C-alpha cells in the first residue's frame, strides 16, 4: 500500500515539476500549442463524461466544438511552422518527467509529424459530425462515453505523433488502444466483444516486443554514454553503433509490434473483424490514423535505428508487403460485406506503404508517407459513406443492396468519387502514393527491385477489380433495397454532405497538387537516408582498401568501437 | 498568348466538368439542359484555342534534335527527390493534330448529343462525364511527360467506365463498364512499369529530354547539339545500352511494356475484348470515345515515343504483326455480327489494327493520318447508326430492319459517305490514309502488306453489307423496346410509337461537317498532316534504300486495294440487294464458320475459364482456407488455446481435495530435502 501511494506521490510531484517547466519552455506561445492540443482533448473528453446524461445534443455539440477548436489550433501550428527547414524538430517543449531515468515530457514536430497531426485533427471533427445520427436504439443516451473516448483517442494520437521522448511515445501508443477498445466493445456490432478483445490483445502483444526492442536500444545508449535518456534523437544516433546481430534483434522486435499495427500480412487478421464490428467513427479513425502508427513507427524507429539489419532484411519484408497486397486484394473480391471489403482493402493499401518504406529512397519513403495521409482521407471517407448506408438500411450486405444510384444519387456520387480515389486514379490523391511507392521499389538501388514493383503493380489491376465489383453491385444495377426500408430512405442531408465535401476537396487537391507536401518530406527523409549513405560510403571505402572482405571488415571495426 | 491558349485548352473542359456536375443535381430539366450548352461551348472554345496554337506552331524554332516541341509549364504536380512530373504541355505538330481531332470532333458530337440525349433524366450527368473525358483526353495528348499522359490515359478510362455504365441499372451495361476498366488496367499495368523503366534508364520522363536521348542512341552521329538535360539523359541511358546484359534487358523491355498499355487502350489483341461490349454506352459516346478519340490513344502514344520503340526492332515488328493480325481478326468477326453498333465496333478494332501496322513499320505519318480520317468517318458512321437506333426505339438488329432509305433519306446518304470512306473508295479520305499504311507495310514486310490488302477487301464487304441491309430492299422494320437506354416502361409518357424519321436539321449539321471530313479529309488533309508530323517528335526520316521499295509499292498498291474494294462493294450488292436468298444460303453452307465468327472466336469464354474463374477461386481460397482457417482458427486460435491448455493440465491439482494438496506438499518438501541433501553431501 505504502509503495503504491508513494509512487503516486512521486508521479504527482513529477507531473507538477513538468507542468512548471512547461510554463517556461522556450519558443514562446506557439510552442506550447502542441501539448495544449493533446491535453485539451483529454481534459475536455473527461469533462464531457460529467455532463448530464439527458443533454445529448449538448454533448455532441461540445465534442464537435472542441475537436474543431483543436483543428484550428493545429492550423495555427502549421502556419507558425518554419517550412524552410521541415526536417528539424520545431516547437519543441521539454520538461523533466522522471529525471533519474532521463524520461522527459517532450513534444515537437517535424513536417512528417505535423502532416499526420493535421490529418488527425482534420478527420476528427468530420467524424464527430458524421456520427451524430449513429447512436440510436440501445445506444441512445450513451453519447457522453462515446465522445469521451473519441476525444481521448484524438489526444493520444496527437501525443504519439508529437512525442520526442520514447516513453511518451509509448504511453500514447498504448493509450490509443483503450478508447478504441471501448468504442468497439460498447458501440460495435453483434460480435463487438470478440472484436474488441482480439484487437486489444493483438496490438498489445505485438507492442510488447517493440517495447523490449526500444528499451534495449535505450540501454545500449546508456552503456555508451553512462546516462539514461529516452530522447528519440539521441537514442537513434547511438543506435547506429550496434553490432549487426544486435540490430537484427532490434529490428525483429520493432517489426513485430509495428507490423501488427500496420497490419501486415499475415498478422492482419484482427483488422477486418475490428472494422466490421466498430462503429463508423471508430473505423474512420482506426483506418484513417491508427494504422499509420505502424508505418510511422517503422519510419521513425526501425529505419534509422537498425540500418544494417534493414538493408539485410528489406527484401524479406518487401515480400511480405507484396504478398499482402495481392492476397488482401484477392480476398476483397470475394467479400459480401461492404465494410469488410474496405477493411481488407486497407490491408492491401498498407502493403504499398510498407513496400515504399523499405525501398529506402526518396520516392519510396516520400510516397509511403503521402500514402499514409491519402489513405486516411479516402478510406476514412469510404467508411463514412458505408456508415451512412448502414444508418439507412441497417445492412451492409452487397446482396441486399443494388442500384442505389437511383435512390441516393448524391451518396452515390461521393461513393464513386472516393472509390476512384482509393483505386488510385491519377488526378486524385490515392494515385500519388501508390505510384511513388511502386516507383521507389522499382528504382531502388538499396533494396527491393523491379520484380517487387511488378508484383505490387498487380495490385493496380486487382484493386480495380474489387472496387468496381463493389460499385457494380451497390451503386449500379437494378434497384434493390431491403423491403423494410424500400422507398422510405432519403438521400444525404446537409450535415452528411458537409462531412464528405471537405474530404472530397482534400482528395482532389492532394491529387493535383501534392508537390508542396512531398517537398516538405524530402528533408526529414534525407535525415533518415543519411545513415544509409554513410554505410554505403564506408562500404565503398573498405571495398577500395581491402578487396573481398568488405562485410567482415566492417563488423570487425564495429566490435573494436563498441565496448 | 501561346501559353495562355495552351492552358485554356485544358482548363476549359475542367471548369465545364465542375459546373455540369453541379447542374446535374438539379431536378429541373431546363437547368440540366444548360449543361449541354456549357459543355459544347467549352469544347468549342478549346477548339478555337487549339487553332490559335496551330497557327503559332510553325514559328516554333526547330533545334535539330528531333524534338521540336514547345514546353508550356502550368503547375507542379509530383516532384520528389529526382522524380519530376509536372502539369506541363508539350506542343508540336503531333499534339496539334490530336488537338484538332479531339476538340473538333468533340464539339460536333457534343452538339449532336444535346439532341440525342434530350429527355434523359441523366442529361447533366452525361455532359459532366463528357467534359471529364475531354479534359483527360487533352491531358493525354498535351502532357509533356509520361506521367501526365498516364493521368489522361487513366482519366479517359474512368470517363469511359462512367459513360459505358451510363445506363447503370442495366446489368449488361454495368458488366461492360467493369470489363472495359479492368481490361484497360491490365494494359496500364504494363504502361506503368514501362514508365518506371524509362525513369530508371533515362533518369527522367520528360519528352524534351528522353526523346532526343533515345534518338541519339538509335542513330548515333545523326543527332547533334543536345541540350544539357538531354545530354544527361543520353549519358544515363548509355549505361544501359550495349554493356551488361541484364541492365540492357530493361531498356529492351520498355517498348514491350509500353506496348501492352497501347494494346489495352486501343483494343488490340489480346486485350480487344472490352471494346465491342463498350457499345452499351449511349451512341454519341461510342462515336466520340470508342471510335474517334480515346481508342486512338495507343497509336498516339507509340507515335510520340517512336524513338524509344526504335531502340528495339523486335518491339516494332511485334506492334506491326499484332496490328495486322488484329485488323484481319476483327474484320472477320465484323462479317457475321448482326448488331449495327457491334459491326462498327469490330470495324474500329480492325482500323486501329491498321494504325498499329503503320507505326510498326515506322510509317507514323500514315498511322496518324489514318487516325485523323478515321475519326471523321467512324464518328459519322456511329452517329448515323445512332440516328437509326433512335428512330427505331433502340433497335439495333440488322435482321429486323430493311429498306429504311425511304424513311430516313438524309441519314441514308450520310452513312453512305462514311461507308465509302471506310471501304477505301478512291479519293475518299479513307483511301488516302489506308493506302499510305499499306504502301509502308508492303515496302517493309510484304506479307503484312498482303494481309492488309485482304483486310481492306473484307472491310469493303462488311461495310456495305450493313448499309445495303439497313437502307435497301423492301421497307420493313420492327421497333425496339427501349426508352432512354432502358426497357421501355409503359408509364413513360413521351414514349409513343412513331414513324422512323431523320433528326432535325440542327442535329444533322454536325454530321454534315463530319461527312465533309470523311469525303474530302483525304486530299485536303494530306499535306497538312505530312507537314505537321514532320514538325514533331514522331517524324521518322525514310532512309534512301527503303525509298525505292516504297516508291515501287506506291505505284500499284492503292489501285489494287481500291479495285478490290469496289469489287467487294459489288459483291455485297449482289448478296444484300439483288438476291438476299443467296446470302442466306451461303451462310447456311458455312454454318460452322459463321457460328465461330458470330461468337467472336469464343475469346470471352476462354478468358472467363482461364483467368477470371481461377482468380476468383484463388480469392475464395485465400479468404476461407488461409485467412479464416489457417491464420485465424489454427494459428491465432491455437495460440489463444495455449493458456487454456496449461490450465487444463494444471486443473486436476486444484480439485479441492485436501489429501491431494497434502500429497503434493509432502512431495515438494521431500524434493527440497533431497536436493539439500545432495548439495551438502
Cell numbers at B669, concatenated: 518438501
Q: Is the pLDDT of residue B632 over 80?
A: no
Q: How far is B77 from chain A (nearest CA, A)?
A: 5
- The pLDDT score that the predictor gives to residue B485 is 73
- The yes-or-no verdict on residue B203 having pLDDT over 60 is yes
- Scan for cell 444508418, then name that residue: A391
Rounded Cα distance, B188 and A462, in Å = 12
All residues of chain A having their beta carbon less than 8 Å from the beta carbon of residue B250 are 450
Asked if residues B57 and B92 have their Cβ atoms less than 8 Å apart, the reply is yes
Beta bridge partners of A95: A105
Does the beta carbon of B75 lie under 8 angstroms from any beta carbon of chain A? yes
Which set of grid coordinates corresponds to residue B665? Answer: 506438499
Q: Which residue has the cell 545513415?
A: A531
- The three-state secondary structure class of A194 is helix
Contact between chains at B192 and A366 (C-beta distance less than 8 A):
no
What pLDDT does residue A553 have?
40
Mean pLDDT of B273-298: 89
- CA-CA distance, A302 to A241, in Å (whole number)? 14
- Measured between CA atoms, the residue of chain A closest to residue B14 is A427
Q: Name every residue whose Cβ is closer than 8 Å to that of residue A539 and which is 6 or more positions away in sequence.
A: A550, A554
Find chain A residues with C-beta within 8 A of B177's C-beta. 468, 472, 476
Helices (H) and strands (E) in chain B, counts: 28, 6
Contact A405 B193 (CB under 8 A): no
- Inform me whether the pLDDT recorded for A28 exceeds 80: no
For residues A112 and A81, the answer to whether their CB atoms sit within 8 Å is no
Cell of B376: 471523321
Read off the DSSP letter of residue A483. G
Residues shown for chain B: 681
Q: Which residues of A touch B137 (CB under 8 A)?
A: none
The model's pLDDT over A228-285, given as tens digits with 9 standing for 90+, comes to 888 888 888 888 888 888 889 999 999 999 999 888 888 888 898 899 888 999 999 9
Whether residue A61 lies within 8 A of chain B, CB to CB, comes out as no
Residues of B in contact with A432 (CB under 8 A): 78
The CA distances from residue A317 to A322, A369, A440, B317, in Å, are: 9, 17, 15, 40
CB B71 within 8 A of CB B89: yes
Name every chain B residue with its beta carbon within 8 A of the beta carbon of A465: 182
Cβ contact (<8 Å) for B25 and A410?
yes
Least confident of A116-120, B180-184, B307-311: B307-311
pLDDT of B538 higher than 90: no
Percentage of chain B with pLDDT > 90? 35
Name chain B contacts of A409, Cβ cutoff 8 Å. 25
Question: Please, which pLDDT band fits residue B580 given cuts at 50, 70 and 90?
Answer: confident
**Dist. CA B420–CA B518, nearest whole Å:** 9
d(CA B481, CA B331): 30
**Distance (Å) from the C-alpha of residue A293 to the closest C-alpha of chain B?**
23
What secondary structure letter does DSSP report for B241? S
Q: Considering chain A, what is the average pLDDT of its residues?
A: 86
How confident is residue A345, by pLDDT bands cut at 50, 70 and 90?
very high
Q: For the residues B114-123, what does the mean pLDDT come to? A: 84
Of A191, A273, A476, which to mutate for an interface test with B (greatest number of B Cβ within 10 Å)? A476
- Phi-psi group of A17: left, alpha or beta (phi > 0 → left; psi -120 to 50 → alpha; rest → beta): alpha
A362 contacts B81? CB cut-off 8 A: yes
Which pLDDT tens digit goes with each residue over A170-218? 999 999 999 999 999 888 888 888 889 888 988 888 889 999 998 899 8
From B649, B465, B669, select the one nearest B569 (Cα to Cα): B465
Residues of A (135-174) whose Cβ lies below 8 Å from B: none
Contact between A362 and A522 (Cβ < 8 Å): yes
Interchain CB distance below 8 Å, B169 and A363: no
DSSP H or E run through A545: helix A515-545
Contact across the interface for B78 and A468, Cβ inside 8 Å: no
Show contacts of A538-543: CB within 8 Å, 24+ apart.
none
Compute the nearest-CA separation of B187 from chain A (Å): 9
What is the mean predicted confidence (pLDDT) over A382-396? 91
CA distance readout (Å), B574 to B569, B589, B593: 9, 17, 21
pLDDT at residue B400, as a whole number: 85
Taking the Cβ of residue A490 and every Cβ of chain B, the question of whether any pair is shorter than 8 Å is answered with no
The reply to whether residue A472 touches residue B177, judged by beta carbons under 8 angstroms, is yes
The alpha carbon of residue B628 is apart from the nearest alpha carbon of chain A, in Å, by 8
At B493, the pLDDT band (50, 70, 90 cuts) reads very low
Interface of A with B in 278-317 (CB under 8 A): none
Chain A residues touching B77 at Cβ < 8 A: 512-515
Closest by alpha carbon to B351, among B288, B300, B296? B296
User: A46: closest CA among A124, A157, A148, A158?
Assistant: A148
Residues B662, B89: Cα–Cα separation, whole Å: 91
Contact A257, A300 (CB under 8 A): no
d(C-alpha B263, C-alpha B269), whole Å: 7
pLDDT of B508 > 70? The answer is yes
Across residues B419-447, what is the average pLDDT? 90
Sign of CA dihedral A196, A197, A201, A204: positive
Q: How far is CA A449 from CA A13, A313, B197, B467, B634, in A?
A: 54, 14, 11, 55, 34
User: In whole angstroms, what is the distance from residue B351 CA to residue B196 CA?
Assistant: 30
User: Mind telling me how many Å the CA of B5 is from chain A's nearest CA?
Assistant: 21
List the grid coordinates of A25: 519552455
CA distance A337 to chain B (A): 13
Across the interface, whether the CB atoms of B197 and A442 are under 8 A apart is answered yes
CA distance B532 to B513: 22
CB B535 within 8 A of CB B68: yes
On the question of pLDDT at A451 being above 50, the answer is yes
- Asked whether residue A100 carries a pLDDT value surpassing 60, the answer given is yes
Nearest CB among A443, A464, A479 relative to B199 is that of: A443
Residue A197: closest C-alpha in chain B: B640
End-to-end CA distance of chain B: 106
Q: In sequence order, what are the beta bridge partners of B70? A: B91
B477 Cβ contact list (under 8 Å, min separation 6): B392, B395, B400, B401, B402, B403, B404, B500
Find cell 483503450 and name the residue. Answer: A178
Residues of B numbered 157-196 whose beta carbons fall under 8 angstroms of chain A's beta carbons: which are they? 158, 161-162, 165, 168-169, 171, 173-175, 177-178, 181-182, 185-186, 188-189, 192-193, 196
- What's the pLDDT score for residue A562? 38
What is the ipTM, given to two decimal places?
0.89
Q: What is the pTM of this model?
A: 0.90
Question: What is the count of residue pairs from A and B with beta carbons less than 8 Å apart?
Answer: 149
Q: Say whether residue B551 is in contact with chain A using an 8 A CB cutoff.
A: no
Instruction: Read off the pLDDT of residues A37-89 as tens digits, 9 standing for 90 and up.
Output: 888 988 888 888 888 877 888 888 989 999 999 999 999 989 888 888 888 88
Chain B residue closest to A520 (CA)?
B80
Crossing angle (nearest 10°) for helices A192-225 and A244-261: 160
How far apart, in Å, are the Cα atoms of A114 and each of A105, A166, A437, B635?
18, 18, 21, 38
Q: Give the Cβ contact number of residue A538 at 10 Å.
A: 14
pLDDT of residue B242: 64
A386 in Cβ contact with A338 (< 8 Å): yes
Q: What is the pLDDT of residues B29-70, one digit of tens each?
A: 788 888 899 999 999 999 999 998 888 776 554 444 444 678
Length of chain A in residues, anyone? 563
Residues of B in contact with A524 (CB under 8 A): none
Domains of chain A: which residue ranges?
34-561
State the DSSP code for A478.
Answer: S
Alpha-helix runs per DSSP H in B338-395: 340-360, 364-391
In whole angstroms, what is the distance from residue B3 CA to residue A553 CA? 59
Within B472-628, residue ranges assigned H as helices are 505-534, 544-573, 580-589, 591-598, 603-607, 613-620
pLDDT at position B531 is 81
Q: Which among A335, A479, A521 is the nearest to B169, CB-wise?
A: A479
Residue B645 pLDDT: 84
Write out the three cell numbers for B13: 473542359
CA atoms of B297 and B305, how far apart (whole Å): 12
Q: What is the CB neighbour count within 10 angstroms for residue A19? A: 13
Average pLDDT value for residue range B501-511: 84
Buried b (16+ CB within 10 A) or exposed e, B355-391: bbbbbbbbbbbbbbbbbbbbbbbbbbbbbbbbbbbbb
Q: Do B182 and A464 touch (CB under 8 A)?
A: yes
Is B87 an interface residue toward A (CB < 8 Å)?
A: yes
**DSSP symbol at B472:** S
Instruction: Tell me the per-residue pLDDT of B134-169, one tens digit each, with 9 for 90 and over.
Output: 999 999 999 999 999 999 999 999 999 999 999 988
In angstroms, what separates the C-alpha of B255 from chain A's closest C-alpha?
A: 16
Contact A221, A239 (CB under 8 A): yes
- Whether A532 has its CB under 8 Å from any CB of chain B: the answer is no
Instruction: Please judge whether A453 and B623 are an interchain contact, meaning their C-beta atoms are less than 8 angstroms apart.
Output: no
Spatial separation of the C-alpha atoms in residues A228 and B413, rounded to whole Å: 91
The CA distances from residue A388 to A377, A471, B276, in Å, are 16, 16, 37
Omega cis (within 30) before A429: no
Amino acid at each position: 500500500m505504502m509503495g503504491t501511494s508513494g509512487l503516486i506521490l512521486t508521479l504527482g510531484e513529477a507531473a507538477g515539476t513538468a507542468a512548471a517547466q512547461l510554463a517556461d519552455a522556450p519558443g514562446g506561445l506557439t510552442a506550447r500549442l502542441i501539448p495544449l492540443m493533446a491535453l485539451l482533448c483529454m481534459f475536455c473528453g473527461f469533462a464531457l463524461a460529467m455532463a448530464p446524461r439527458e443533454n445529448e445534443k449538448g454533448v455532441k455539440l461540445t465534442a464537435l466544438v472542441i475537436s474543431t477548436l483543436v483543428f484550428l489550433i493545429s492550423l495555427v501550428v502549421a502556419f507558425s511552422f518554419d517550412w524552410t527547414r521541415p526536417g528539424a524538430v520545431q516547437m519543441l517543449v521539454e520538461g523533466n518527467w522522471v529525471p533519474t531515468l532521463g524520461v522527459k515530457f517532450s513534444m515537437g514536430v517535424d513536417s512528417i509529424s505535423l502532416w499526420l497531426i493535421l490529418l488527425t485533427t482534420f478527420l476528427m471533427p468530420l467524424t464527430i459530425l458524421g456520427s451524430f445520427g449513429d447512436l440510436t436504439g440501445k445506444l441512445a443516451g450513451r453519447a457522453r462515453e462515446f465522445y469521451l473516448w473519441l476525444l481521448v483517442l484524438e489526444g493520444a494520437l496527437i501525443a504519439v505523433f508529437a512525442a520526442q521522448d520514447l516513453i511518451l511515445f509509448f504511453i500514447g501508443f498504448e493509450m490509443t488502444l483503450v478508447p478504441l477498445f471501448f468504442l468497439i466493445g460498447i458501440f460495435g456490432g453483434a460480435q463487438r466483444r470478440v472484436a474488441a478483445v482480439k484487437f486489444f490483445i493483438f496490438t498489445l502483444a505485438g507492442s510488447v516486443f517493440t517495447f523490449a526492442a526500444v528499451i534495449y536500444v535505450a540501454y545500449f545508449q546508456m552503456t555508451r554514454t553512462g546516462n539514461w535518456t529516452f530522447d528519440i534523437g539521441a537514442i537513434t544516433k547511438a543506435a547506429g553503433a550496434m553490432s549487426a546481430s544486435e540490430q537484427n534483434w532490434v529490428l525483429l522486435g520493432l517489426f513485430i509490434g509495428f507490423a501488427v499495427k500496420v497490419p501486415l500480412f499475415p498478422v492482419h487478421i484482427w483488422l477486418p473483424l475490428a472494422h466490421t464490428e466498430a462503429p463508423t467513427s471508430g473505423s474512420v479513425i482506426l483506418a484513417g490514423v491508427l494504422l499509420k502508427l505502424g508505418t510511422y513507427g517503422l519510419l521513425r524507429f526501425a529505419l534509422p535505428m537498425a540500418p544494417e539489419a534493414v538493408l539485410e532484411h528489406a527484401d524479406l519484408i518487401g515480400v511480405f508487403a507484396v504478398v499482402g497486397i495481392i492476397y488482401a486484394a484477392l480476398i476483397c473480391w470475394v467479400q459480401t460485406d461492404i465494410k469488410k471489403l474496405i477493411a481488407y482493402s486497407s490491408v492491401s493499401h498498407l502493403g504499398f506503404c510498407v513496400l515504399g518504406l523499405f525501398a529506402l529512397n526518396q520516392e519510396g519513403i516520400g510516397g509511403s508517407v503521402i500514402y499514409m495521409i491519402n489513405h486516411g482521407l479516402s478510406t476514412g471517407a469510404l467508411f463514412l459513406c458505408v456508415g451512412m448506408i448502414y444508418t439507412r438500411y441497417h445492412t451492409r450486405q452487397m446482396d441486399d443492396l443494388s442500384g442505389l444510384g437511383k435512390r441516393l444519387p448524391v451518396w452515390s456520387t461521393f461513393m464513386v468519387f472516393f472509390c476512384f480515389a482509393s483505386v488510385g486514379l491519377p488526378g486524385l490523391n490515392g494515385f500519388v502514393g501508390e505510384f511513388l511507392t511502386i516507383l521507389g521499389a522499382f528504382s531502388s538501388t538499396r533494396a527491393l527491385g523491379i520484380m517487387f514493383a511488378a508484383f505490387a503493380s498487380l495490385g493496380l489491376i486487382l484493386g480495380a477489380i474489387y472496387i468496381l465489383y463493389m460499385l457494380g453491385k451497390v451503386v449500379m444495377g437494378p434497384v434493390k433495397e431491403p423491403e423494410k426500408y424500400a422507398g422510405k430512405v432519403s438521400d444525404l442531408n446537409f450535415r452528411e454532405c458537409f462531412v464528405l465535401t471537405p474530404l472530397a476537396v482534400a482528395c482532389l487537391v492532394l491529387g493535383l497538387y501534392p508537390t508542396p507536401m512531398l517537398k516538405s518530406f524530402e528533408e526529414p527523409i534525407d535525415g533518415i537516408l543519411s545513415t544509409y549513405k554513410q554505410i554505403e560510403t564506408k562500404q565503398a571505402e573498405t571495398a577500395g582498401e581491402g578487396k573481398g572482405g568488405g562485410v567482415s571488415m566492417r563488423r570487425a571495426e564495429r566490435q573494436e568501437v563498441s565496448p | 498568348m501561346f501559353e495562355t491558349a495552351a492552358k485554356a485548352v485544358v482548363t476549359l473542359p475542367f471548369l465545364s466538368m465542375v459546373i455540369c456536375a453541379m447542374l446535374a443535381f438539379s431536378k429541373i430539366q431546363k437547368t440540366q439542359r444548360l449543361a449541354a450548352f456549357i459543355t459544347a461551348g467549352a469544347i468549342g472554345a478549346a477548339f478555337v484555342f487549339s487553332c490559335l496554337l496551330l497557327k503559332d506552331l510553325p514559328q516554333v524554332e526547330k533545334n535539330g534534335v528531333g524534338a521540336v516541341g514547345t514546353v508550356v509549364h502550368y503547375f507542379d504536380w509530383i516532384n520528389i527527390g529526382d522524380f519530376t512530373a509536372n502539369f506541363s504541355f508539350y506542343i508540336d505538330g503531333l499534339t496539334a493534330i490530336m488537338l484538332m481531332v479531339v476538340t473538333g470532333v468533340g464539339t460536333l458530337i457534343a452538339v449532336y448529343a444535346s439532341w440525342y440525349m434530350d429527355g434523359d433524366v441523366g442529361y447533366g450527368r452525361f455532359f459532366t462525364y463528357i467534359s471529364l473525358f475531354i479534359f483527360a483526353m487533352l491531358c493525354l495528348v498535351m502532357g509533356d511527360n509520361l506521367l501526365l499522359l498516364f493521368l489522361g490515359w487513366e482519366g479517359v478510362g474512368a470517363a469511359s467506365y462512367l459513360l459505358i455504365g451510363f445506363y447503370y441499372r442495366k446489368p449488361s451495361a454495368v458488366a461492360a463498364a467493369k470489363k472495359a476498366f479492368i481490361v484497360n488496367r491490365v494494359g496500364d499495368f504494363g504502361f506503368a512499369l514501362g514508365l518506371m523503366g524509362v525513369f530508371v534508364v533515362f533518369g527522367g520522363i520528360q519528352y524534351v529530354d528522353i526523346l532526343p536521348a533515345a534518338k541519339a542512341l538509335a542513330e548515333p552521329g545523326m543527332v547533334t547539339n543536345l541540350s544539357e538535360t538531354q545530354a544527361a539523359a543520353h549519358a544515363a541511358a548509355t549505361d544501359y545500352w550495349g554493356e551488361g546484359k541484364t541492365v540492357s534487358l530493361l531498356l529492351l523491355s520498355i517498348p514491350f511494356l509500353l506496348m501492352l498499355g497501347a494494346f489495352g487502350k486501343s483494343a488490340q489483341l489480346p486485350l480487344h475484348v472490352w471494346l465491342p461490349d463498350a457499345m452499351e454506352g449511349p451512341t454519341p459516346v461510342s462515336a466520340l470515345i470508342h471510335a474517334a478519340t480515346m481508342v486512338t490513344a495507343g497509336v498516339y502514344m507509340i507515335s510520340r515515343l517512336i524513338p524509344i520503340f526504335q531502340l528495339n526492332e523486335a518491339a516494332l515488328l511485334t506492334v506491326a504483326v499484332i496490328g495486322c493480325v488484329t485488323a484481319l481478326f476483327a474484320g472477320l468477326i465484323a462479317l457475321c455480327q448482326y448488331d449495327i453498333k457491334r459491326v462498327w465496333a469490330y470495324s474500329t478494332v480492325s482500323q486501329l489494327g491498321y494504325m498499329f501496322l503503320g507505326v510498326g513499320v515506322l510509317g507514323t505519318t500514315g498511322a496518324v493520318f489514318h487516325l485523323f480520317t478515321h475519326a471523321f468517318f467512324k464518328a459519322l458512321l456511329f452517329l448515323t447508326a445512332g440516328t437509326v437506333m433512335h428512330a427505331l426505339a433502340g433497335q439495333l438488329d440488322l435482321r429486323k430492319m430493311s429498306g429504311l432509305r425511304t424513311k430516313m433519306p438524309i441519314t441514308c446518304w450520310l452513312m453512305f459517305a462514311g461507308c465509302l470512306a471506310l471501304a477505301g473508295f478512291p479519293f475518299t479520305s479513307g483511301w488516302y490514309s489506308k493506302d499510305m499504311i499499306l504502301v509502308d507495310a508492303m515496302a517493309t514486310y510484304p506479307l503484312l502488306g498482303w494481309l492488309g490488302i485482304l483486310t481492306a477487301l473484307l472491310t469493303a464487304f462488311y461495310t456495305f453489307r450493313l448499309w445495303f441491309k439497313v437502307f435497301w430492299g423492301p421497307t420493313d422494320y420492327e421497333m425496339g423496346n427501349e426508352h432512354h437506354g432502358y426497357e421501355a416502361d409503359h408509364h413513360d409518357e413521351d414514349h409513343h410509337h412513331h414513324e422512323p424519321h431523320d433528326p432535325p436539321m440542327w442535329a444533322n449539321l454536325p454530321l454534315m461537317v463530319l461527312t465533309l471530313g470523311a469525303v474530302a479529309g483525304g486530299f485536303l488533309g494530306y499535306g497538312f498532316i505530312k507537314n505537321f508530323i514532320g514538325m514533331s517528335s514522331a517524324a521518322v526520316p525514310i532512309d534512301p534504300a527503303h525509298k525505292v521499295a516504297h516508291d515501287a509499292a506506291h505505284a500499284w498498291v492503292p489501285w489494287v486495294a481500291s479495285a478490290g474494294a469496289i469489287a467487294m462493294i459489288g459483291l455485297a450488292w449482289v448478296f444484300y440487294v439483288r438476291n438476299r436468298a443467296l446470302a442466306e444460303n451461303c451462310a447456311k453452307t458455312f454454318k460452322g464458320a459463321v457460328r465461330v465468327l458470330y461468337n467472336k472466336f469464343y475469346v470471352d469464354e476462354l478468358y472467363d475459364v482461364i483467368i477470371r474463374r481461377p482468380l476468383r477461386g484463388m480469392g475464395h481460397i485465400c479468404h476461407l482456407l488461409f485467412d479464416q482457417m489457417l491464420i485465424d482458427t489454427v494459428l491465432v486460435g491455437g495460440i489463444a488455446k495455449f493458456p487454456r491448455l496449461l490450465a487444463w493440465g494444471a486443473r486436476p491439482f486444484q480439485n479441492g481435495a485436501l489429501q491431494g494438496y497434502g500429497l503434493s506438499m509432502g512431495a515438494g518438501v521431500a524434493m527440497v530435502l533431497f536436493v539439500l541433501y545432495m548439495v551438502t553431501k
